[in-house]
Each structure stands twice: as structure tokens, then as C-alpha cells.
């Protein structure tokens, strides 16, 4: 019969053998201690020779202390310059929004343009990225474009002018009824907006 595990003695670990080492920065702490003990003006070169560190490192530590204060006396990890979550839209995709060739819906709302490019982002995120990676691109008023008269419309106007060129009040205009009412579609008279960069015309 095989012996049970209770007969197996576990290996004991001596107390104190698994303690974690505390990493210190003795040279950095000693350097600032020497620097603080000196009288003004502070001699960085002399303090660097005492601790046996290069001058380039001394200037970097001094700059860190100027920015961080007392925490710079110890070892500091690299701090990120971008403290935010990854963007849901890339810079290349942002450039496509203001490109007239790649974005035919620049005269529509942001939601319609996001759906056209099939992006999982929001209107607020898109506007922030446009202002960050373009020249303050947003929905500005579109430049006025003079309407081109079609050939058919031009022919109708010319025929109307020829027909009523010699018309008088007695012959023609006495049968006309004038009215001071006008029915206009307000949506057709609104200013047209288009997504473009600041300073551009189209």
C-alpha cells in the first residue's frame, strides 16, 4: 500500500529568505544631499565628481527635481505624456472626412458621415479629433456658388421674353391678378453648411 501524503514532510522555508529587496537609488539621494549641503551658488560639477556620475545625468536629475520637486530625489519611472484611452478613430480616417474626394457627405450631419465610413465612434469624439489633427475643421457655412442655368431653362426664359416683349396693360396685363402672398419652403432658404477646414473655401 502506498504511503499517504501525510507521511511526506514538506520542506520548510527559513524565515527571512523570501523577503523582497527594496530598490534604492543611493547615488541619486547622495547627490542631492551633497547639493543641498553646499552653499550657493550650487556647483553641479563638483557634486557630480563626488558621486562619480556623468555631468549629463546631473543636468537631467536637476531638471526632474525642478519639475517634480522632492519625489525626484528617488528613482522615478517614465511618465506617459498621453494619459487617455486609445482613440476610436485614426488620424488617417480623420483626414478622409475633410477630403472632398473621399467624403461625398460633407454637407450632411456628423452622424450621417460616421455611418458612411462605418466607424464606431461618437459625434463628440469626431469633433475633438477634427480640431486636433486638422486646421480646426468643422461644419462651416458653404461658399456661395452661382447657379448655372440649364439649356432648357434658358430656352424657356427666352421664349417668355419674346412672347411678352410688346405686351401692354390693355392687351395682356389687365387680365393678370397680383397677390402679396408668397409661399416659400423655409428649409430651401437655409444656409448650406459643409465640413471643411478653417481658411478653405470648399
Contact 74, 113 (CB under 8 A): no
Contact 87, 186 (CB under 8 A): no
- Return the percentage of the chain with pLDDT > 90, whole number: 28
- Return the percentage of the chain with pLDDT > 70, whole number: 74
Taking 80 as the threshold, does the pLDDT of residue 27 lie above it?
A: no
Q: Give 46's contacts (C-beta < 8 A, 6+ positions apart).
A: 38
Q: Say how many residues make up the chain.
A: 202
Characterize 8-34 residue by residue with b for buried, 16 or more Cβ atoms within 10 angstroms of its Cβ, and e for exposed. Answer: eeeeeeeeeeeeeeeeeeeebeebbeb
- pLDDT tens sequence across 34-69: 777 765 445 777 777 777 788 788 788 788 877 877
> Could you tell me which of 26, 45, 47 has the C-alpha nearest to residue 37?
47
* Residue 29 to residues 26, 45, 66, 194, Cα–Cα distance (Å): 5, 16, 15, 59
- Helices (DSSP H) in the chain: which residue ranges? 26-37, 44-51, 55-68, 91-97, 110-117, 123-133, 151-163, 186-189
Q: Please state which of the ranges 7-21, 100-114, 142-156 shows the lowest mean pLDDT.
A: 7-21
Confidence of residue 167 (pLDDT cuts 50, 70, 90): confident
Model pLDDT, residue 168: 87
Model pLDDT, residue 140: 92
Confidence of residue 135 (pLDDT cuts 50, 70, 90): very high
Taking 70 as the threshold, does the pLDDT of residue 134 lie above it?
A: yes
Give Dmax (Cα) for the chain.
133
Q: For residue 41, is the peptide bond before it cis, meaning its omega torsion is within 30 degrees of 0?
A: yes
Taking 60 as the threshold, does the pLDDT of residue 2 lie above it?
A: no
Q: Is the dihedral of CA 26, 32, 36, 40 positive or negative?
A: positive
- pLDDT tens sequence across 62-121: 888 778 777 766 666 666 666 677 888 999 999 999 999 999 999 999 999 999 999 999
Cell of 56: 549629463
Arithmetic mean of pLDDT, 136-158: 86
Q: How far is residue 115 CA from its own chain's centroid?
A: 19
d(CA 168, CA 165): 9
d(CA 195, CA 197): 7
> Could you tell me which of 120, 144, 133, 132 has the C-alpha nearest to residue 202?
144
Model pLDDT, residue 67: 80
Q: What are phi and psi of 153, to 5 degrees?
A: -65, -40
User: Across the chain, what does the average pLDDT equal?
Assistant: 78
Q: Which residue in the block uniquely carries the three cell numbers 423655409?
A: 186
Model pLDDT, residue 40: 44
Amino acid at each position: 500500500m502506498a504511503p499517504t501524503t501525510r507521511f511526506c514532510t514538506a520542506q520548510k522555508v527559513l524565515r527571512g529568505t523570501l523577503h523582497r529587496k527594496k530598490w534604492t537609488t543611493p547615488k541619486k539621494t547622495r547627490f542631492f544631499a551633497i547639493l543641498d549641503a553646499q552653499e550657493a551658488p550650487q556647483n553641479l560639477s563638483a557634486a557630480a565628481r563626488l558621486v562619480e556620475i556623468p555631468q549629463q545625468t546631473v543636468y537631467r536629475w536637476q531638471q526632474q527635481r525642478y519639475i517634480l520637486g522632492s519625489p525626484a530625489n528617488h528613482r522615478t519611472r517614465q511618465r506617459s505624456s498621453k494619459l487617455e484611452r486609445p482613440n476610436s478613430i485614426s488620424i488617417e480616417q480623420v483626414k478622409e472626412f475633410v477630403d472632398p474626394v473621399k467624403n461625398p457627405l460633407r454637407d450632411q450631419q456628423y452622424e450621417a458621415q460616421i455611418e458612411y465610413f462605418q466607424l464606431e465612434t461618437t459625434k463628440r469624439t469626431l469633433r475633438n479629433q477634427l480640431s486636433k489633427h486638422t486646421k480646426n475643421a468643422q461644419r462651416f457655412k458653404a461658399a456661395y456658388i452661382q447657379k448655372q442655368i440649364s439649356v432648357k431653362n434658358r430656352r424657356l426664359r427666352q421664349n417668355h421674353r419674346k412672347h411678352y416683349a410688346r405686351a401692354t396693360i390693355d392687351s395682356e396685363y389687365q387680365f393678370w391678378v397680383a397677390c402679396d402672398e408668397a409661399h416659400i419652403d423655409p428649409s430651401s432658404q437655409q444656409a448650406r453648411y459643409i465640413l471643411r477646414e478653417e481658411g478653405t473655401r470648399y
